[in-house]
Amino acid sequence: MPLPPGTMGLPFFGETLQLVLQRRKFLQMKRRKYGFIYKTHLFGRPTVRVMGAENVRQILLGEHRLVAVQWPASVRTILGSGCLSNLHDGQHKHRKKVIMKAFSREALQHYVPGIQEEVSACLARWLRSAGSCLLVYPEVKRLMFRIAMRILLGFEPGHAGRDSEQQLLEAFEEMIRNLFSLPIDVPFSGLYRGLRARNFIHAKIEENIRAKMARGQPAGGCKDALQLLLEHTQENGEQLNMQELKESATELLFGGHETTASAATSLITFLGLHREVLQKVRQELQTKGLLCSMNQDNTQLDMEVLEQLKYTGCVIKETLRLSPPVPGGFRVALKTFELNGYQIPKGWNVIYSICDTHDVADLFTNKDEFDPDRFMSPFPEDSSRFSFIPFGGGLRTCVGKEFAKILLKIFMVELARNCDWQLLNGPPTMKTGPIVYPVDNLPTKFIGFNGQI
């Protein structure tokens, strides 16, 4: 069988520099020229990029048989071998089972008041500066970081202090900017800067872990994900591996705030551009008695009420279809296998694309339109399972996807019933680095919503 079409670029560097500099433009050019499966050379490795529901289905369902997860060397080095995304087979299954306890329905119900409190406080702050320009993306990142620190790692509100919290957030941004870089650890290289930021984050997280261990088991309520990991190591008589705990906590913070910040920013964008959709969200809230603002009574949310907001859920799905925060996932071929008539050689990296798979899915008509109603009627299970994959699929489906959905619902409910806003630059240009975000940070003016629909 032939290799997929494509080009390999320069020796060692391959086409990594073009990808880093051009991102979406580079990927769109490749898709137009070579189709749904093509070869390239990225991050020091020969690579096949794959898109389309049927092709992605074979990759995601081929875990442990055809492929295994393998992120680029820079990602493995910075995030560490002990985090969930870098574990395999039994280790991955066992760790995932422990972490999933933190995302059960009971746990999510326990998180709702804290999330609502943080979102309400943030929006109140935005409205106090009503009429002035606000850069949405950094503001939303700060909010989602606070929520992830509090809900996933158990940091008490205000425990870290605003300056320390800002330092941690800046370190995370530096680490994430350099996650996907050439595997060259020399001063001022991307990998060097990413590791330096990672070490600062680990030091702060270790302080929190040791404080947790000194405090002992929290009284009542559900436990955060880090607490569950701590208890798991103690209950099984395992030696407490501080490095693995720090790596797991860092991964939870990364997954728990970067992706939700991207999605929440996209929600503000699409609702700002499509006022008729925002009106329909408000109408749904009104039918559930939820349109009263943060200054009125009876606004407390819970899981039962949130699950009834069907149209609001469809707005989130449509946002994730058009602007998935994570553009794809990395695998490595465990053996040479055939994919749609092409040979995928053993040892080559395989990237499956989420954004391109959404773009080319036959399931969706008028693909470029923002139309949440398309999700109001269920799609046939067979055709939709791998046409819409914002959280990946198969054995490595995102462990926090239900947490993300609830968080985004609470954010949208509070936003719709408290705020009106205007995008000052119109539709933003989006960039991937590695999470999708607006290049201009989405400058926006917010004012209070008067309750009239």
402's tokens? 């239900």
d(CA 322, CA 388): 10
Q: Are 79 and 86 in contact (CB under 8 A)?
A: yes
Tell me if residue 62 falls in helix, strand or coil: coil
Which alpha helices (DSSP H) does 337-439 contain, by range?
A: 354-360, 381-384, 401-418
**Would strands 419-423 and 430-432 be described as parallel, antiparallel, or unpaired?**
unpaired
Q: CA torsion sign, 300 to 305 to 311 to 317?
A: positive
Question: Residue type at 301?
Answer: L
User: If you write DSSP's letter for every residue of 154-165 in order, what string do you get?
Assistant: -PPTTSS-HHHH
Q: CA torsion sign, 259 to 264 to 269 to 273?
A: positive
If you search the block for the tokens 């574990």, which residue do you land on?
A: 87
Backbone angles phi, psi at 432, to 5 degrees: -115, 125
Tell me which DSSP letter residue 361 carries.
Answer: -
> How long a stretch of residues is the chain?
453
Say if residue 122 carries a ligand binding annotation.
no
Give binding residues as ranges: 398
Give binding residues for heme as ranges: 398
